[in-house]
Structure 1
Amino acid sequence: MSDKEGLHLEETRQMIMDAVINQFNQKGMKFTMDDISKELHISKKTIYKEFNDKDELFFATVDYGFSAIKKKEAEIVSDDSLDLVDKISKLIVCLPDNYKNIDFRRVYQLKEKYPKVYMKVAERIESDWGETEKLLNKAIEKGVIKNVPVPLIKLMVEGAIEKFLSSEEFSRTDLSYEESLNKMIDIIINGLKI
């Protein structure tokens, strides 16, 4: 396979995963492979050349999404216009630009119908704390935030995010998921500031 063919295949996979994200945002778990096929004006056969089944497609899309988050995190960490506390705040609620419109409350729907996919999402949320932990420890060392054990901060944030995803109360507010996360992290960070 030539480099050009490999690039084309990767672009096709990305287009399909972007369509999954779009369909998930519109219909939750009720979207079908036909919906993806129609959105992209490609055959289902083309989709199945790239992904064996819907589960494989979901797993790949989760990894794709978290790779995009990692890229956005790298931008935040290298942004010298942000102070340490701002970087921590932005890292915790980091969403790539193409994910800003997703209704993340729908992710909780995965728990019942696609528990393996939900577990993968939960696992990634729990394990992708490397840069944030480094910055939290640095902020504690510099005396910018209170000396609170980092695992406790992590548990508070993860608990709040899980509650956001599963609560019916959230749907009664006029706030988007991103706005709610920003308010949540603002409250937590202000509580940690010295």
Structure 2
Amino acid sequence: MKDKIIAKSEQLFTNLGFKSVTMDDIASELGISKKTIYQYFETKTKLVEATASFKFNCINKSINSIFKQDINPIDEIFEMKHFILTHLNDERPSAQYQFKKYYPKIFTVLKQKQFNVMKECISGNLDRGIKAGLYRSSVNIDFISRMYFNFLVSIKDHELFPQELFTPQDLLNNFLDYHLRGICSEKGLEYLKTNHKTIKNN
């Protein structure tokens, strides 16, 4: 039952917002009493923390599966793009806003966990790309991995990137064009032109 409560809560929080969804709403959706939920979670904050951890673990598992495929580092970045796009399409801006505003401590802890995972994955990608001759040997791995994560955070900022001007697909395509052209060697750029048509070939 605990897992069912977490899964349903995560779905409701993501679609409707962390502040908007009440314990009564969750109980009603599950067809159980609110008292049953409180048997597992003392407060709504505890439930939000559990759902945030649940979602992080799911995302972390998917990301790790991409970086364990042992494929071309450039192809790996495009696999990440497809995953991020799917993830963004599942999120509601209002839900993220409420999560950050009403549960700042949980939000901060989760952001740090996300940073640690992404930094490790992108650092590994950069290292493999340099060794394969696809990325420039002068690339600063620590700096670029931090910039990559910073973009993933910024892409959700709809004041910076208004939805009426930028679709998630446009944002990711333009970012990859910017990111890869900044780190690729001549060999890497040639691979891009041949294998990934979404990158501008001029």
Q: What is the correspondence of 1:110-149 to structure 2 with a 5 Å cutoff?
A: 110-128=99-117, 129-146=119-136, 147-149=138-140
Structure 1 residues not aligned, in runs of 5+:
1-11
Output the TM-score relative to the length of structure 1. Answer: 0.77
Calculate percent identity across the aligned residue pairs: 24
Provide the rounded CA distance (Å) in 2 between the counterparts of 1:113 and 1:38.
Answer: 23
Q: Residue type of the partner of 1:116?
A: K
The alignment yields a C-alpha RMSD, in angstroms, of: 2.8
Residues 1:15 and 2:7 are matched in the alignment? no
1:193 and 2:184 aligned? yes
State TM-score, norm by structure 2: 0.74
- Partners in 1 of 2:87 and 2:80 — Cα distance? 16
- 1:50 aligns to 2:70 (yes or no): no
The verdict on how the C-alpha distance between 1:135 and 1:160 changes in structure 2, with shifts beyond 3 A counting, is closer
Q: In 2, are the aligned partners of 1:72 and 1:96 still within 8 Å (CA)?
A: no
Residue of structure 1 equivalent to 2:64: 74
Q: Which residue does the alignment assign to 2:73?
A: 84
What is the 5 A alignment of 1:145-156?
145-146=135-136, 147-156=138-147
Matched residue, 1:24: 13
Contact 2:17-2:94 at 8 Å conserved across structures: no
How far apart are 1:46 and its partner, in Å?
A: 1.9
Residue 163 of structure 1 corresponds to 154
Residue 16 of structure 1 contacts residue 40 of structure 1 at CA under 8 Å; is this kept in 2? yes
CA distance in 2, matches of 1:67, 1:180: 27
**Per-residue deviation, residues 23-79 of structure 1 (Å, max 9, x unmatched):** 123321211111111222122122112222111112211221121122212321333
Q: Distance in 2 between matches of 1:15 and 1:23?
A: 12
**Counterparts of 2:123 and 2:176 in 1: how far apart (Å)?**
17
Q: Which runs of 5+ in 2 are unaligned?
A: 186-202
Q: Distance between the aligned counterparts of 2:85 and 2:173, measured in 1?
A: 18
8 Å CA contact 2:13–2:21 kept in 1: the answer is yes
Name the larger-Rg structure.
2
Distance 1:18 1:173 in 2: 33
Give the distance between the partners of 1:114 and 1:93, measured in 2 at CA.
Answer: 29
Q: Using a 3 Å threshold, how does the CA distance of structure 1 residues 106 and 160 change in structure 2: closer, same or farther? A: farther
Q: Distance in 1 between matches of 2:131 and 2:2?
A: 43
